[in-house]
Amino acid sequence: MSMPPAPVSSQWSLPKQDDWSTPFAEVLLEQLDLRPGLTILDIASRHGIPAFYLAEQVGKTGTVVGIDASRSQIASARAVQRDELPWLRFECLDMRALPASFPTFQRVTGNLSVMFLRPNRFEALRGLVEHLEPGGQLVLTFPSLGTFDSIWKRIDEEMDRYGLVIERERLAAHVAERPSAAEARGWLDRLEMERIAVVERPLEVASGSGQRFLQHPLLRGGFLDDAYECFDDQRVAEEVMTRVSLDLERMRPLIAQRCALRGWKSKNG
């Protein structure tokens, strides 16, 4: 496994101020065989981390296509790009249903991507591998099962104190939906990928208590929002979540599991 090359310039390096996408992208790059001239499909490309970095590394002899289902994210990435890196383009596409006419690539990458493959992650992954050239590499990162376990346990405890049976069942279902490293490896085994590897790197997230916890930019979207959705009565939700937010010491450390899934498509595939 070759390490990613040193950047040719610092213009498109991973932004240090991004506390979420960049740490996951760093793990992706650890696993990616990256060199000039490659063709890369970057799924769930969002605002371009790490699509811009990838494009800089493959150079003008390569191609990077970033796709995302959000038109606003694509517009944001294009606004950042302007006329730079003309071999990089962003398209608004659903990665779960790529058209048969869509080209194949030597690499398929996706930072923080696996959660967006719902509802049928395996079938969506199979579709992506169909657009991977024989001998090509797939690398995806995602927060795996175990991410913010201390938060989920504390919320469940408070729900139990309130006697919220249905809400606890819903919360358990949300947590169980997050794929484990073993489950992710199983997907690539079923697809008969080669040189499969799954690695996890813990990431500690810092937060204050109270509203600083409840409105934390990394915790709220996609994590705490899942908990709020478990409640039928939002007044009760606010009571429960406020009590949880004021008990931060029992939840520390707040740990996300950065999981990277890597595999190679058979040259005979």
User: Would strands 105-110 and 88-92 be described as parallel, antiparallel, or unpaired?
Assistant: unpaired
Backbone angles phi, psi at 46, to 5 degrees: 50, -125
- Identify the band that residue 11 occupies on the pLDDT scale cut at 50, 70 and 90: confident
Give residue-wise pLDDT tens across range 92-130: 999 999 998 999 999 999 999 998 898 899 999 999 999
> How many CB atoms neighbour CB 59 within 10 A?
14
- The residue out of 126, 143, 160 marking a domain boundary is 143
Residue 259 maps to a domain: no
- The answer to whether the pTM exceeds 0.85 is yes
Domain hosting residue 105, numbered range = 21-143
**Residue 92: strand pairing partners:** 68
Same domain as 169, residue 63 = no
Q: What is the pLDDT of residue 10?
A: 58
Q: How far apart are CA 47 and CA 80, in angstroms?
A: 8
Give residue-wise pLDDT tens across range 161-211: 999 999 999 999 999 989 999 999 999 999 999 999 999 999 999 999 999
| Closest-CA residue to 175 (of 215, 229, 109) | 229
Same domain as 242, residue 166 = yes
Question: Structurally, how many domains does the chain consist of?
Answer: 2
**Residue 199: strand pairing partners:** 260
Same domain as 72, residue 163 = no
- Contacts of 10 by beta carbon, 8 Å cutoff, 6+ apart: none
Residue 162 maps to a domain: yes
Amino acid at 237: A
Same domain as 29, residue 93 = yes
Does residue 1 register a pLDDT over 80? no
Residue 232 maps to a domain: yes
Q: At 97, which CATH number?
A: 3.40.50.150
- Identify the band that residue 5 occupies on the pLDDT scale cut at 50, 70 and 90: very low
Same domain as 160, residue 95 = no
Backbone angles phi, psi at 235, to 5 degrees: -65, -45
**Candidate from 5-9, 13-17, 176-180, 254-258 with smallest mean pLDDT:** 5-9
